[in-house]
Structure 1
Amino acid sequence: MYGTQSHHVEVNVPASKAWQLCRGTGISVLGAQHLGDLFEKVDVVEGNGGPGTVLKVTFKPGKAPANITYFKEKFTVVDNEKRMRQTDVCEGGYLDLGFNYFRVRLEVKEKSADCCVLAITLEYDVKEECAANAELVSIQPFVKALDFTAEYLLKHK
């Protein structure tokens, strides 16, 4: 069973500035530090923010959807021209609940010289025998992280 969820937020900063923050590991680590009610920590397991980088995201107990405690995600695409970063969960998280894959795409879209749109899209596929677990997917932790990113960008213009 295939599913998708998305959310976007408009930010009054240039897309190039937003992409500088969003393209690598910085925003993930920074977000975890400032969203301590949700995340325990984010560790860079390997890499420097380019394709092949692996992060381990650990949630505070009881704060993640479906009582997920952690997941590891691998940067599969970092496209500076399109300002798009895609990660695939490679361990834990929804994979432990019978998902074939769980992908997160972050895009920074230019709206004008001083305004951009941050967009996050979740894509996932669940094994047929675990199809009911698709209802456990929640974009809310990602919305919270995206909102933090927008606020951070506005404060640090």
Structure 2
Amino acid sequence: MAAGHLEHELELGVPASEAWDLFGTLRLGEFFEKEMPSLFQKVELVEGDGGIGTVLKLTFVPGTLGPTCYKEKFTKVDNENRIKEIEVIEGGYLELGFTLFRGRFHIMEKGKDSSTVKSTVEYELKQEASENGSIASNAIQALANIAQVAKQHLNRNKLADPPK
């Protein structure tokens, strides 16, 4: 059994509360489809309201990631510390030899008007599927791309709605 942990951090340039309004809610799935159509073909709510236990089905544009679709479950939604964790529960990475595939977004305050998003991928991989370990690197890169597009979106909205 092989295990790994990959991280990426990005300063967002908006208050942590604004970033969490996107990353900590179901709006993130809608954002994926609208702002990243080259990666996400469809994001469907299977069950839940955005809290722990919520299940989404993500379908990717073929050839962009590794898996073409999978279901993920929100296993942690910590509004106080601004941490959201998901685990793949069906398809996708599990079909590629991963026994655990967990993603995490952690929004950290960096002063009154700025924040950082720390994206993390944790995984366990069957020994006989060890050649698929590079797929986890693709996943952290995808999370880094999501963070970058979210940053652009959040800052564009900040400029469109100046304080009164």
Tell me the TM-score range normalised by the shorter chain: over 0.9
Contact 1:4 / 1:122 at 8 angstroms: preserved in 2? yes
Secondary structure of the residue that 2:147 maps to in structure 1? helix
1:123-138 matches, cutoff 5 A = 123-137=122-136, 138=138
CA distance in 1, matches of 2:142, 2:33: 11
Q: Where does 1:44-63 land on structure 2 (aligned, <5 Å)?
A: 44-63=45-64
> SS where residue 105 of structure 1 aligns?
strand
Identify which range, 96-105 or 130-139, moves more after superposition: 130-139
Match of 2:75 in 1: 76
TM-score by length of 1: 0.94
| Structure 1 segments of 4+ aligned residues over 2 angstroms from their partners | none
Listed as ranges, the gaps of 5+ residues in structure 2 are 159-164
Matched with 1:13 is 14
Q: CA deviation at 1:100?
A: 0.7
| Map 1:8-157 → 2, pairs under 5 A | 8-65=9-66, 68-137=67-136, 138=138, 139-157=140-158
Q: Superposition RMSD on alpha carbons, in Å?
A: 1.0
One-letter amino acid of the structure 1 residue matched with residue 109 of structure 2: E
How many pairs does the alignment contain?
A: 155
Gaps of 5+ in 1: none
Counterpart of 2:130 in structure 1: which amino acid? A
Q: TM-score, normalised by structure 2?
A: 0.90
For residues 38 and 17 of structure 1, what CA distance do their matches in structure 2 show? Answer: 24
